[in-house]
Structure formats: structure tokens, C-alpha cells
Amino acid sequence: MSTPKPPVAAATPLLQVNDLQVHFPLPKTGWFAPPEVVRAVDGVSFSIPRGTTLALVGESGSGKTTTALAVMRLAPITAGQVQLGDMALGTLEGEALRAARRRFQIIFQDPFSSLNPRERAGAAVRAPLDLMQVGTPQEREARVADLFKAVGLRPEQQQLFPHQFSGGQRQRINIARALATNPELVVCDEPVSALDIAIRAQILNLLVHLQKEHGLTYLFISHDMAVVEHICDEIAVMYLGQIVERAPRQAFFARPLHPYSVALMSAVPTVHGGRARAAQRIKLSGDPPSPINPPPGCRFAGRCPVAEPACSAELPPLREIAPGHWVRCRRVELVDGQPLAPLQLPGV
């Protein structure tokens, strides 16, 4: 795996998400039962400067994948705004949305199920060009050949079927397909989680290389903090449908502030003081609250090792505690101008 990317200078946001909500209504349990909804995403805001990577992280059920699908317009948006450059994605419908999809594409998690087993690899990569009528047939053929070369596949492999490729090669096909229309934004939904460890580094390095070469902007979904540290410029931690911490990569990994972020980082298997930090991980008790009826206060309070009674009384705002570093925790304080986390990593 190569050296993590250096921090980038501030740039104009390509993607702007404001107060995004995705609520799924549940079937009624009786004639007089009140309607219930699953608050999968409940007021998420972030922006991604052009040419950079924002990583959304959190455990299963935190809402990170639903957020990504809503940005892609593959999940219904209940409320909020999604802006891609000068285009309001959240309001597009029909043919206008179909035409706009040239500007944003997705790489799915599973390289095995995201390809049609009866479609040759070259045809799979060419499909977006045919569907959106990009260029002439000759230009599409040349584009597919260039994409195969760009992702490290041989020209003759265009004629093969998905079962004739390894998992890493299939994900390269998916990456080539996502890049076919020259998108500005690429959503990466855990693109390496289904791959072997040795192959993960190759795919991550390929994504970093393609970003530098084509100026791509990534929204990267992951639960693997080591992967996130390698590829992201900024990180946003989600818990039960909300962002609880957002910061530049270096600031976050040097000093996570929210107790949930600290617990996540404690599970990363790194060596510290001659011992593996994962052996000293912070073990959280209990389960996350129900997204149908979230508590009125901090949604992490019931599992937080340092929670106080006031934490359960009122939902804390997402506040900027340091330049570019936002946190949703009332217990994070400024001491001598430096933010102080109420919970520390073991061995630090």
C-alpha cells in the first residue's frame, strides 16, 4: 500500500448535501396504530471539494450506505438538498435525471453480483455509453479499450465473461464501467470489502491513481478505518443516521474527539507501545437505539462510557470545535485552545 495522500488545499465544493433525510414508512400494525417510519438518514450535511475524497464511516445500520444511495438518487429523498455543481440532484426526475447520470456514477460493494454473468466484460463497460448514447459506435469502442488499459486489464479480456475473472479483476471491470461516461463524482460503496487483503491494496492504489489522473471526486463508504486512512482527505463518522464527527484526515486520525469515533479507532489493529492496540479496544455495551423512535438526546448516550445525565436530555448540535473539525458531543471541551476528548484511546 502506498503512502497516504497529503492534505489538499480548499477547493470549490462539487457535491453539497444539506440536511438530508431518508425516512422509510413502515406498514401499519392496526387500524388505529400511529404511522411509523425508519429514520435511516436524519439530517446529514456535508460537502466534498472537487478532486478530493470524503469517507463516510460507521458500523452497520449507521446510514452511510443509504446516504450514498440517496446522493445517487437510488433511494428516495424525504427532505433536504443534494447539489452537484450547479445542478440540484434532489429535484430531478425522468429524462432530466437520466441525462444527469453521466455526471455521477457508483462502484458497488460486491464485484460478483454487480455484473451480468451472461454479458461479456467489454459489453458491460460499454453499456453506459450505449444507454446514454455517448459518442459514435467507433468512439465507444475506443473508449472501452482505453478504460480496460486504464484499470490494468488486457484488450483481449473484453471478450471474457465475469466467471472467467478473479474478484479483483471483476472490481476493475466495475471501476471501468463507472468511469465510462467521464463522471465528476464517483460513489464508492465499500469497493474493497469483499476482496482479499492483498488485492485491496491494488484496488485502492488504482482508485487513487485514477483520481489524480482524471480529477475525480469520491464519496467513499467504508467501515474499515485502515482503508479510510489510506484514501480519504476528509472523514465523516455516522451513528444512527447522523454525522457525529467530521474532520480532515490528519486531524481525525491524530485526535478523534467523539467517544464513538474513539471506540471505532480503538478497534484498528495497530502496534502502539509494543502491543497491538486492538487488544485494548473499547468495548461498547448494548445495542444502538431503534431508528424508528430515536432518543431525544445524544443517540450514542446509552452506549457511551463517559455519558452524563444531561447527554440524554437534549441532542447536541454539530459544532466546529477547531478549524474544519466538527463534533456532536457536549463533553468535548477546549483546553488552552486545543480540543480535549472526554474519552482517550487506550495506551495514548
Please give the Cα distance from 265 to 27 (Å, whole number): 38
- Consecutive H or E run containing 43: strand 37-49
Structure confidence at residue 198 (pLDDT)? 85
Q: Is 11 helix (H, G, I), strand (E, B) or coil?
A: coil
Of 16, 19, 68, 21, the C-alpha closest to 40 is: 21
Q: What is the pLDDT of residues 176-198, one digit of tens each?
A: 999 999 999 999 999 988 888 88
Structure confidence at residue 275 (pLDDT)? 47
Q: Is 312 helix (H, G, I), strand (E, B) or coil?
A: helix
Residue 29's pLDDT band (cuts 50, 70, 90): confident
338 lies in a domain? Answer: yes
Helix axes of 167-179 and 197-214: crossing angle, nearest 10 degrees: 20
277 lies in a domain? Answer: yes
8 lies in a domain? Answer: no
Query: Could you give the percent of the chain with pLDDT greater than 90?
Result: 69
161 lies in a domain? Answer: no
Q: Is 238 helix (H, G, I), strand (E, B) or coil?
A: strand
Residue 276, pLDDT > 70, answer no
Structure confidence at residue 348 (pLDDT)? 58
Q: Which of these ranges, 185-189, 257-261, 277-281, has the smallest mean pLDDT?
A: 277-281
Please give the Cα distance from 222 to 119 (Å, whole number): 29
**Number of C-beta neighbours around residue 98 at 10 A:** 12
Residue 203, pLDDT > 90, answer yes
Between CA 187 and CA 198, with CA 192 as vertex, the angle to 5 degrees is 150
114 lies in a domain? Answer: no
Average pLDDT along the chain: 89
Structural domain harbouring 312:
257-348
188 lies in a domain? Answer: no
Backbone angles phi, psi at 261, to 5 degrees: -60, -40
58 lies in a domain? Answer: no
Residue 7, pLDDT > 70, answer no
Of 176, 71, 177, 160, the C-alpha closest to 119 is: 160
Structure confidence at residue 269 (pLDDT)? 66
Q: What is the pLDDT of residues 132-184, one digit of tens each?
A: 888 888 999 999 999 999 999 999 999 999 999 999 999 999 999 999 999 99
Please give the Cα distance from 54 to 121 (Å, whole number): 29
Query: Could you give the percent of the chain with pLDDT greater than 70?
Result: 93
C-alpha cell at 106: 457508483
Structure confidence at residue 34 (pLDDT)? 76
Residue 271's pLDDT band (cuts 50, 70, 90): very low
Residue 272, pLDDT > 80, answer no
Q: Are 191 and 183 in contact (CB under 8 A)?
A: no
Q: Is 271 helix (H, G, I), strand (E, B) or coil?
A: strand
Residue 33, pLDDT > 80, answer no
**Mean pLDDT score, 306-330:** 93
C-alpha cell at 239: 451513528
Residue 32, pLDDT > 70, answer yes
Structure confidence at residue 347 (pLDDT)? 63
Q: Are 212 and 9 in contact (CB under 8 A)?
A: no
Backbone angles phi, psi at 208, to 5 degrees: -65, -45
Please give the Cα distance from 292 to 295 (Å, whole number): 10
295 lies in a domain? Answer: yes
> What are the distances in angstroms from CA 280 to CA 184, 265, 283, 346?
41, 11, 9, 6
Structure confidence at residue 109 (pLDDT)? 86
Please give the tally of structural domains in the chain.
1
Residue 6, pLDDT > 60, answer no
Q: What is the pLDDT of residues 72-129, one digit of tens each?
A: 999 999 999 999 999 999 899 999 999 999 999 999 988 888 899 999 999 999 999 9
Of 175, 180, 174, 237, the C-alpha closest to 206 is: 175
